[in-house]
């Protein structure tokens, strides 16, 4: 009884009534191939892309550190210039060098 119900519910006609689309046997064959090959292909892609992703992350870290140093130097220069300008405005004779 349950098997008959499942057969009727999941029959091709009922499936098309529910989803209103046609299934092509060739497409379903490709899908089955993808499903069967996925456990093999995904680890291979992972081993190939891991070094690439790792090198991209390394490059980003190096660029970040370089930018951090450059910004610190720029900030220090700006603070020096600001201090000199304040000293000139206040009339300090030692600052006019």
Helix (H, G, I), strand (E, B) or coil at 11: coil
pLDDT of residue 95: 54
Nearest one of 7, 61, 79 to 53, comparing CA atoms = 61
pLDDT of residue 97: 55
CA angle 39, 40, 46 (to 5 degrees): 90
Higher per-residue confidence, 41 vs 17: 41
Above 90 in pLDDT, residue 83?
yes
CA angle 8, 12, 16 (to 5 degrees): 110
């Amino acid at each position: 009884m349950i098997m008959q119900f499942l057969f009727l519910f999941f029959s091709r006609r009922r499936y098309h009534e529910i989803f209103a689309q046609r299934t092509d046997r060739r497409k379903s064959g490709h899908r089955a191939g993808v499903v069967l090959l996925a456990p093999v292909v995904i680890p291979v892609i992972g081993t190939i892309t891991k070094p690439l992703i790792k090198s991209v992350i390394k490059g980003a870290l190096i660029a970040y550190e370089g930018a951090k140093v450059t910004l610190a130097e720029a900030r220090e220069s700006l603070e020096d210039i600001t201090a000199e300008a304040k000293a000139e405005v206040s009339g300090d004779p030692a600052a006019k060098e």
